[in-house]
Structures are given as C-alpha cells and as structure tokens.
C-alpha cells in the first residue's frame, strides 16, 4: 500500500491532516471499551508488513511501528479474515512477543478492516493488563471497525472535501496561517464528529503538549523523622508549566479521560528516577504511581535496570482511589519489585474504603495517613482514635506510618503523642526543587 500524502501539505500544514478524523474515532473506541487502554489501526504495507498508522491511548507513542504479517496476531487475523483475541500475550504463541514487550500490550483483540471486499489492515484494541478483553465488547467494536475501514477507504474523498473547505478560507491565511488553520480545521472536524468528540480532541491535544520539553518540573516534599527532626525521605511531585497554571490533579484527571494517564505517569517516573543520584544515599525517594501504572511493562523496563543500592531507596506509592479488580496480578508484580528491594506505600489511608482494602490485600511497607485524618487531629477524638488504631495495626504488620498534611504545631504534637515517628506537611517543609532539599537544615 502506498504512503498517503495529504493535499493539505501543499499549504505546509502538516499538523492538520484528515487522519485527525480517524484519531478522534479511535478515541471514541476507547470510550466504548473502557477495559482497554490502547487502540491502533494497522495497514498493510509493502513486503507483508503491517504499519501502525493511527494510534490512541497507550499505543499513541508507537505510531510507525511495523510488524510482519507472518509473526503477529494481526497477520493471523488478516490471513483468516476473522477476529483474533489474546488474553495473555506474553504466554500466547500466536503473538509477536517482541512487539508486545515494546508496546506493553498484555491482552488484545484484532479485527480485520475490509473495504471494497478487500482486507486493508486491522483495528486493534489492547490493554496493558492481562485478561482485559471481554467478548461482549467485540460485537460493538466490529461495528466500529466497519466505520473505520470505510473512513480509511474514503480518505482520499475526505481529504478532497477538507482541502476544498480550507481553500474556501484561503483568504484568511496570512501571517498567522497556523493558528487560523487550526480554527478552521477544528470547525471542520466539529461538523463531522459529535461535539463531545471535538471537546475531547482538544483536551487530548492539551494533554499531549505536557510531554514537550520543560513542561514538567519535579519538586520534592520532605518526609521528616519526628524523633530527630532530620530528613528521612522525599516524595516526588509533578508540577506543570502551563499558562494558565493548573494543578497536577486536574491535568492527571484530563489525561485519564483521554487515556493518557498512564503515559503521563510513566513520563514523570522517568524524570524522577534521574534525581536518585543527586540525593544523599541514606535518603529514600517516593514515587506516586497508580495500580495501572504498576502493571505496565514500561515501568518494569524503567526499574529493572536500577542497581540494587538504588532500588533499595525507592518507594512505590500507590495513589489510586478506586477499587482494584485484580489484586492477585497486582500483588505478583509488587512482589517482583520487592525482591529488587523496592518498598510499597499506600497513600491517602483513611480517605476512603479503597485505601483500607489496599492495605489488607497488599501488606504495604509504609502506610501514609491522609490529610483528612491529620487535619484538626488535636481537637477531634475520632480522628485521633482512628489514627492511633492504624498506627497500632501498622506495627503488627511491620509497616511504617507517615502522617501526611501536618500544618500546625498542635497537629505535630498530637501525631508524636500517638507514637507516629514520620511526618509530612507544609508545617514541616513545603514541596521544593531538589537544590533546596540538598541545602536544607533537615539534612545532617
């Protein structure tokens, strides 16, 4: 299959290609199949290779990847003309394991794309968690595959239509051609897609901009040994340089909505690990990560290269506030990391039922008491009693307790009285660049 070239390239507007329409459709596939986190269109190229032409979700970074028709599940779907499913890719002889390791795919379904009675490629839905593909979703995805195939097959007609639309506004294209074209194409896309799809497309574009250089900064909040008033460890936190400024929780919320939450997490993890060498060897580094992020192959790639002395200083702080469907898989993965010396912490304990379930199921090394428990703990016997009970429970399972969100001297005194020896909060130290951590009086 020849490489598609858009007539829009005559205007030098390489960003605004009709393929954005297909991308938006793929985003809708992820909306329909909530158990999947990636989707891709693979088209037949030369010499029996399949090319990842359009990708969304966790497969977005792999646009342009090629796999051979004879070695892949996609190829088997094309040769058989039928849908193929792999529930556990790393243990399935029919899949291209190297490609699965690269992309992090652990389960997937592949559906042939037909146009004019010919198979032109496949639509792939995937997850970085095994056994995520549900057969009940396949029938609906097959209907979407028909639409995707029709859209791809008709791409030349769509391109012509879009070019005419752009040509009708050519008089508007002056010195600010790119921004004008952006508005025009957004209008064009909104006429083809549902309004909520256009909104999501724009949100995705904003989230993708966070991966640009200098958009993500890492700051560190000290966790203090309350018996010595010295630094015990630091928690790494994301800060995004955007105008207007938005809090990290809002950016991660948007990223999850457009299926880039795990991508953004892992991007931050990669940056955070680079600071390990700058911290004193006796200081541990805590990294926030969701259960979904823990189960990804790419996190394993980032961590398994760490030497033992660095791995032993690392803490994976589980941040998810919703229930985990498969604790067996999560526990198995965490145990692999524990064998490397990495510790496991449960964040926000006391803020909801999910954090307590995490403790019971995962037996963490560290339990972090949420700010909602610590706030006004000096005047609230209920908060004090619950925190005390959790501290006693932690000792029985050989876990360490950290009191988060300490903001007053009275809260600090009460936490100490409850025999909680590690604290974190604005009263002790605010999040700060690593240079200020290294010059802090908290370091011996």
Q: Are residues 224 and 332 in the same domain?
A: yes
Q: Is the pTM of this model over 0.75?
A: no
Tokens (6 digits) for 441: 């009086």
In a domain, 399, yes or no: yes
Helices assigned H by DSSP within 238-278? 248-257, 261-273
The whole-number pLDDT of residue 194 equals 45
Query: Is 419's pLDDT higher than 80?
Result: yes
* Domain stop point among 124, 154, 184: 154
* pLDDT tens readout for residues 371-412: 999 999 999 999 999 999 999 999 999 999 999 999 999 999
The whole-number pLDDT of residue 150 equals 77
In a domain, 201, yes or no: no
Q: Are residues 119 and 219 in the same domain?
A: no
The whole-number pLDDT of residue 27 equals 79
Q: Are residues 45 and 109 in the same domain?
A: yes
Instruction: Identify whether the C-beta of residue 69 lies closer than 8 Å to the C-beta of residue 75.
Output: yes
* pLDDT tens readout for residues 183-241: 544 444 444 444 444 466 678 788 989 998 789 999 999 999 999 999 999 999 999 99
Q: Give the phi and the psi of residue 437 in degrees, each rounded to 5.
A: -60, -45
The whole-number pLDDT of residue 53 equals 80
Instruction: Identify whether the C-beta of residue 380 lies closer than 8 Å to the C-beta of residue 415.
Output: no
* pLDDT tens readout for residues 323-355: 687 899 899 999 999 999 999 999 988 776 677
The lowest-confidence range among 22-31, 123-132, 272-281, 355-364 is: 22-31
Q: For residues 51 and 67, what is the distance between their CA atoms, to the nearest angstrom?
A: 7
In a domain, 330, yes or no: yes
Q: Are residues 148 and 224 in the same domain?
A: no
In a domain, 274, yes or no: yes
- Ramachandran assignment for 369, one of left (phi > 0), alpha (psi -120 to 50 degrees), beta (any other): beta
Q: Are residues 150 and 240 in the same domain?
A: no
Classify the C-alpha dihedral 32-103-269-352 as positive or negative. Answer: positive
Question: Containing domain of residue 220, as a range?
Answer: 210-438
Residue 425: which CATH number? 3.20.20.450
Q: Are residues 275 and 417 in the same domain?
A: yes
8-32 residues labelled b (16+ CB within 10 A) or e (exposed) = beebebeebbbbbbbbbbbbbbbee
Which range among 113-127, 213-227, 290-304 has the greatest average pLDDT? 213-227
The whole-number pLDDT of residue 236 equals 97
Model confidence band, residue 14 (pLDDT cutoffs 50, 70, 90): very low
Residue 60: closest CA among 14, 117, 22, 107:
22
Query: Is 12's pLDDT higher than 50?
Result: no
Model confidence band, residue 155 (pLDDT cutoffs 50, 70, 90): low
Of residues 279 and 70, more confidently modeled: 279
Residue 26: which CATH number? 3.30.450.40
The whole-number pLDDT of residue 391 equals 93
* Domain stop point among 109, 131, 154: 154
In a domain, 150, yes or no: yes
Instruction: Identify whether the C-beta of residue 64 lies closer than 8 Å to the C-beta of residue 51.
Output: yes
Q: Are residues 149 and 231 in the same domain?
A: no
Q: Are residues 48 and 123 in the same domain?
A: yes
Q: For residues 46 and 399, what is the distance between their CA atoms, to the nearest angstrom?
A: 57
For residue 299, the surrounding DSSP H or E stretch is helix 297-303
In a domain, 443, yes or no: no
In a domain, 253, yes or no: yes
Whether a cis peptide bond, with omega within 30° of 0, leads into 244 is yes
In a domain, 4, yes or no: no
Q: Are residues 144 and 234 in the same domain?
A: no
DSSP 128-140: SSTT---HHHHHH
Model confidence band, residue 148 (pLDDT cutoffs 50, 70, 90): confident
Helices assigned H by DSSP within 44-194? 73-80, 97-103, 135-153, 155-167, 177-192
Q: Are residues 146 and 274 in the same domain?
A: no
The lowest-confidence range among 41-55, 70-84, 137-151, 187-201 is: 187-201
The lowest-confidence range among 21-35, 92-106, 295-309 is: 21-35
User: How big is the chain by its Cα radius of gyration, in Å?
Assistant: 25
CA distance to 11, 334, 339, 357, 375, per residue, from 396 (Å): 69, 21, 22, 17, 25
Q: How many domains does the chain have?
A: 2
| Distance, C-alpha 357 to centroid of its chain | 22
* pLDDT tens readout for residues 77-101: 999 999 999 999 989 999 988 888 8
Residue 411: closest CA among 358, 373, 360, 442:
373
């Amino acid at each position: 299959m020849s490489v598609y070239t858009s007539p829009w390239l005559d205007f030098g507007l390489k960003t605004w290609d009709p393929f954005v329409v297909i991308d938006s459709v793929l985003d809708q596939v992820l909306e329909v199949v909530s158990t999947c986190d990636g989707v891709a269109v693979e088209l037949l190229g030369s010499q029996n290779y399949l090319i990842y032409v359009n990708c969304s979700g966790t497969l977005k970074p792999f646009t342009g990847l090629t796999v051979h028709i004879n070695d892949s599940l996609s190829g088997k779907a094309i040769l058989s003309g039928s849908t193929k499913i792999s529930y556990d890719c790393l243990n399935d002889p029919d899949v291209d394991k190297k490609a699965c390791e690269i992309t992090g795919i652990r389960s997937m379904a592949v559906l042939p794309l037909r146009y004019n009675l010919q198979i032109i490629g496949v639509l792939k839905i995937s997850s970085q968690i095994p056994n995520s593909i549900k057969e009940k979703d396949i029938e609906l995805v097959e209907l979407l595959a028909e639409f995707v195939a029709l859209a791809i097959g008709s791409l030349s007609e769509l391109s012509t239509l879009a070019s005419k639309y752009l040509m009708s506004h050519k008089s508007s294209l002056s010195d600010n051609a790119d921004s004008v074209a952006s508005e025009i194409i957004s209008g064009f896309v909104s006429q083809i897609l549902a309004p909520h799809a256009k909104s999501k497309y724009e949100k995705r574009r904003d989230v993708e901009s966070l991966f640009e250089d200098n958009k993500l900064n890492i700051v560190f909040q000290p966790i203090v040994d309350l018996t010595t008033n010295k630094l015990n460890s630091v928690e790494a936190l994301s800060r995004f340089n955007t105008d207007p400024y938005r809090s990290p929780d809002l950016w991660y919320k948007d990223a999850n909505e457009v299926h880039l939450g795990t991508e953004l997490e892992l991007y931050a993890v990669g940056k955070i690990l680079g600071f390990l060498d700058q911290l004193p060897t006796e200081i541990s580094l805590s990294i926030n990560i969701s259960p979904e992020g823990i189960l990804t192959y790419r996190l394993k790639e980032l961590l398994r290269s760490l030497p033992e002395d660095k791995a032993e200083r690392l803490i994976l702080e589980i941040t998810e506030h919703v229930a985990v469907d498969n604790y067996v898989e999560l526990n198995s993965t965490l145990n692999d990391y524990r064998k490397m010396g990495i510790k496991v912490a449960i964040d926000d304990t006391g803020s909801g039922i999910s954090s307590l379930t995490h403790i019971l199921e995962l037996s963490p090394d560290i339990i972090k008491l949420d700010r909602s428990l610590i706030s006004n703990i000096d005047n609230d016997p209920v908060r004090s009693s619950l925190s005390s009970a959790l501290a006693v429970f932690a000792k029985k399972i050989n876990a360490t307790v950290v009191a988060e969100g300490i903001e007053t001297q009275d809260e600090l005194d009460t936490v100490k009285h409850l025999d909680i020896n590690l604290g974190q909060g604005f009263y002790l130290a605010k999040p700060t660049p690593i240079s200020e951590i290294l010059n802090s009086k908290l370091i011996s």
